[in-house]
């Protein structure tokens, strides 16, 4: 299995766990779990493949990705009651999935010979849009847009780090590890320690 | 007209009726009716065609599909006040549209030589995503995700039934009829008699 | 620079301003501004390019479009506090963006030799879907669907005007100016003077 396929499988699995957990919060049935798990798992990568006009969307070429998402949904359906807080589990699993999906998006764009700006954007799309679709469909506040948290910023950092590593000629596995590590570290710091960038505040406060 | 084109036209028409009825609940004007009717009518099939990378999206190749959606919007605009309950009409028409759209998606995927798993998924996408877009845009609770109802399950059943029928060599019209019939029967049973699968319940109840 | 590229750049810039202003209402950080600005700016054109199956999505071929959206986000981040009402600014900038994006969509479809119906629809998609994605993601009431306002109707008028102008052999710059002018005039009239079409009202009022 290539590095690229491994990253895709891993991000599909972890994103699927978060989708299934959101389904558990919406009290869906098992098919609803599978639906939300699959949407979350392949949403970002599908958008990446469509925008890059790849010949075949990754999971159409290899339907076993959907099988992996189904497994994750089953796992959550029968074990989610063991969790103390599903919401915190979603947030942390989502952080892991983000950190895996960004290098997956980056690697595809690099393999297609895209310029650095598109490489970074494909990392962001692959990392952020699966979770965004999950949250929009289930009417949760999108994690992507939560005030005072870093999310897109983490994907951006990972993408930039990967582009720099690539530019300086580092071998691909190292470059992708740096990408995943920096994205996860920043996201984890934001969740655990409240790291954030200054947010916009209306001034004067009564401004509409 | 081929069976495939007939299914596409019929599902466009019936989904367009549901989109226009949702527009009537949001008190839009006639152009808003046409917009929502068209979005609902072609949303699922458009996503199917893009993901399968067909040369041309079905309604771009044949714009008369949009004309059919406009007709449905007009019809609803001038007759919806005759209905006793628009919501129940939406739910039942949506059930019909689902039962027509699933075989439409299945037939396209079979014609492209896709494996059974992709055939089933294309049935689900064509059947479920038009209504999902309608509900997300109009901020209604997605029918796809209503607790204690079968929806994606019906599309899944239809897709599996069609794949089995195809595998056993049944002629296409019969296979597609079985597909539509089983999807509609299950959905109708769920609406009328409350058929459902066990849903996930948080345990302990205070779990977040 | 071709007329077409100019229209795309202008609509990207103005739509990006509206996306960043919505981000300011959601109190996001600078990266959140860039994310919302980019999504709004290229959302409609991306959908147009994917549905028309163009070889390359416009901003993948030319990533400087994203740079323009970033500039707009920066501009808003540091100057939005000077505005008296961000909401009214969003509405009016969005009207400008609509009036630029519709001819951008029309021009692409004409250049690809599409029939008039698809030309009009591509104008509507390019004009309306960027703002629709912005509003759905940020959970604002979509401008596209606001009761008693003309929005899709303006895009429709612009598209029809452009098609007629094209049919009567007017030179392209004139046809596109008529398209933009008519769309903007109608939208401005709707915002400023409350122009609207009759909306559907439930009758009897207790109908559900």
Is residue C95 exposed (0-12), middle (13-18) or buried (19+ Cβ within 10 Å)? Answer: buried
Q: Under 8 Å CB-to-CB from B22, ≥6 apart: which residues?
A: B36, B40, B90, B134, B135, B138, B140
Chains that touch B (3 or more CB pairs under 8 A): A, C
CB contact under 8 A, B197 and A31: yes
ipTM value: 0.91
Percent of chain B whose pLDDT exceeds 90:
73
Let me know if residue B9 belongs to a domain: yes
Q: What is the least distance, in Å, from the CA of B65 to any CA of chain C? A: 11
Let me know if residue B172 belongs to a domain: yes
Four-point Cα dihedral A137, C147, C144, B43, nearest 10: 50
CB contact under 8 A, C35 and A144: yes
- List the single residue in B with minimal CA-CA distance to A67: B117
Q: How many CA atoms lie within 13 A of B23 on its CB side?
A: 33
Question: Is B17's pLDDT higher than 70?
Answer: yes
More confident residue, C200 or C113: C113
- Residues on chain C touching A141 (C-beta within 8 angstroms): 139
The pLDDT assigned to C145 comes to 85
- Whether a cis peptide bond, with omega within 30° of 0, leads into C51 is no
B58/C contact by beta carbon, under 8 A? no
Q: What is the pLDDT of residues C21-73, one digit of tens each?
A: 999 988 899 999 999 999 999 999 999 999 999 989 999 999 999 999 999 99
Tell me the three-class secondary structure of chain B, residue by residue. CCHHHHHHHHHHHHHHHHHHHHHHHCCCEHHHHHHHHHHHHHHHHHHHHHHCCCCCCHHHHCCHHHHHHHHHHHHHHHHHHHCCCHHHHHHHHHHHHHHHHHHHHHHHHHHCCCCHHHHHHHHHHHHHHHHHHHHHHCCCCCHHHCCCCCCHHHHHHHHHHHHHHHHCCCCHHHHHHHHHHHHHHHHHHHHHHCCCCCECCCCCCCCC
CB contact under 8 A, C200 and B50: no
| A119 three-state secondary structure | helix
Q: How far apart are CA B91 and CA B21, in angstroms?
A: 10
For A73-103, the DSSP string reads HHHHHHHGGG-S-HHHHHHHHHHHHHHHHHH
Backbone angles phi, psi at A88, to 5 degrees: -65, -35
Q: Which of B150, B177, B152 is nearest to B162 (CA)?
A: B177
Mean pLDDT of C85-114: 92
The pLDDT assigned to C202 comes to 64
Q: What is the least distance, in Å, from the CA of C56 to any CA of chain A? A: 7
Question: Is B94's pLDDT higher than 60?
Answer: yes
Q: What is the least distance, in Å, from the CA of A120 to any CA of chain C? A: 11
The pLDDT assigned to C146 comes to 85
Place of tokens 């764009």: A109
The structural domain count of chain C equals 1
Q: How far apart are CA C59 and CA C78, in angstroms?
A: 25
Backbone angles phi, psi at B43, to 5 degrees: -60, -50
The pLDDT assigned to C163 comes to 92
Highest mean pLDDT among A61-65, C4-8, C135-139: A61-65
The pLDDT assigned to B147 comes to 82
Let me know if residue C30 belongs to a domain: yes
Q: Are C153 and C161 in contact (CB under 8 A)?
A: no
Let me know if residue B204 belongs to a domain: no
Let me know if residue C55 belongs to a domain: yes
Token pair belonging to C18: 């509206």
> Sign (positive/negative) of CA torsion A110, A113, A116, A117?
negative
Q: Are A152 and A144 in contact (CB under 8 A)?
A: yes
Question: Is B203's pLDDT higher than 70?
Answer: no
The pLDDT assigned to A102 comes to 95
More confident residue, B205 or C102: C102
H-only helix segments in chain A:
3-25, 30-51, 58-61, 64-79, 86-111, 116-137, 152-167, 172-193
- This prediction has a pTM of 0.93
Q: How far apart are CA A181 and CA B105, in angstroms?
A: 41
Q: How far apart are CA B153 and CA A187, in angstroms?
A: 36
Q: What is the pLDDT of residues B19-49, one digit of tens each?
A: 999 999 888 999 999 999 999 999 999 999 9
Structural domain harbouring A59: 3-193
Q: Are A142 and C137 in contact (CB under 8 A)?
A: yes
For chain C, the DSSP string reads --HHHHHHHHHHHHHHHHHHHHHHHTT-BHHHHHHHHHHHHHHHHHHHHHHTT-SS-HHHH-THHHHHHHHHHHHHHHHGGG-S-HHHHHHHHHHHHHHHHHHHHHHHHHHTT--HHHHHHHHHHHHHHHHHHHHHHTTPPPGGG-TT--SHHHHHHHHHHHHHHHHTT--HHHHHHHHHHHHHHHHHHHHHH---PPBP--SSTT--
The pLDDT assigned to A203 comes to 57
At what angle are helices A3-25 and A86-111 packed, to 10 degrees? 150
pLDDT in tens, chain A (208 residues): 677 888 889 999 999 999 999 999 888 999 999 999 999 999 999 999 999 999 899 999 999 999 999 999 999 999 988 888 888 899 999 999 999 999 999 999 999 999 999 999 999 999 999 999 999 998 888 888 888 889 999 999 999 999 999 889 999 889 999 999 999 999 999 999 999 898 887 655 555 5
Q: What is the pLDDT of residues C178-205, one digit of tens each?
A: 999 999 999 999 999 999 898 887 655 5
- Residues on chain A touching B206 (C-beta within 8 angstroms): none
- Residues on chain B touching C163 (C-beta within 8 angstroms): none
Question: Is B4's pLDDT higher than 90?
Answer: no
Query: What does chain C come to in residues?
Result: 208
Let me know if residue A111 belongs to a domain: yes
Q: Which of B163, B147, B104 is nearest to B129 (CA)?
A: B104
CB contact under 8 A, B196 and A29: yes
Q: What is the pLDDT of residues B133-172, one digit of tens each?
A: 999 998 888 888 888 889 999 999 999 999 999 889 999 8
Let me know if residue A68 belongs to a domain: yes
- List the single residue in B with minimal CA-CA distance to C131: B137
Q: How far apart are CA A165 and CA A42, in angstroms?
A: 27
Question: Is B113's pLDDT higher than 80?
Answer: yes
> Sign (positive/negative) of CA torsion A140, A143, A144, A148?
positive
Mean pLDDT of B121-126: 96
- Residues on chain C touching B29 (C-beta within 8 angstroms): 148, 150, 153, 196-200
Let me know if residue A67 belongs to a domain: yes
């Amino acid at each position: 299995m290539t590095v690229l396929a491994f990253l895709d499988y891993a991000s599909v699995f972890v994103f699927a766990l978060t989708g299934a957990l959101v389904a558990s919060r919406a009290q869906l049935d098992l098919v609803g779990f599978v639906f939300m798990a699959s949407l979350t798992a392949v949403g970002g990568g599908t958008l990446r493949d469509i925008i890059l006009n790849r010949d075949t969307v990754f999971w159409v070429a290899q339907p076993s990705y959907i099988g992996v998402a189904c497994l994750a949904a089953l796992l959550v359906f029968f074990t989610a009651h063991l969790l103390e807080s599903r919401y915190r589990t979603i947030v942390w699993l989502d952080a892991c999935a983000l950190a895996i999906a960004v290098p997956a998006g980056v690697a595809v764009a690099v393999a297609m010979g895209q310029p650095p700006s598109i490489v970074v954007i494909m990392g962001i799309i692959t990392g952020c849009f699966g979770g965004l679709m999950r949250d929009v469909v289930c009417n949760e506040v999108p994690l992507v847009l939560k005030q005072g948290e870093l999310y897109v910023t983490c994907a951006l950092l990972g993408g930039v780090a990967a582009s720099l590593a690539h530019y300086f000629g580092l071998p691909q596995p190292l470059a992708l590890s740096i990408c995943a590590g920096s994205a996860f570290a920043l996201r984890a710091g934001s969740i655990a320690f409240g790291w954030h960038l200054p947010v916009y505040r209306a001034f004067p406060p009564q401004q509409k």
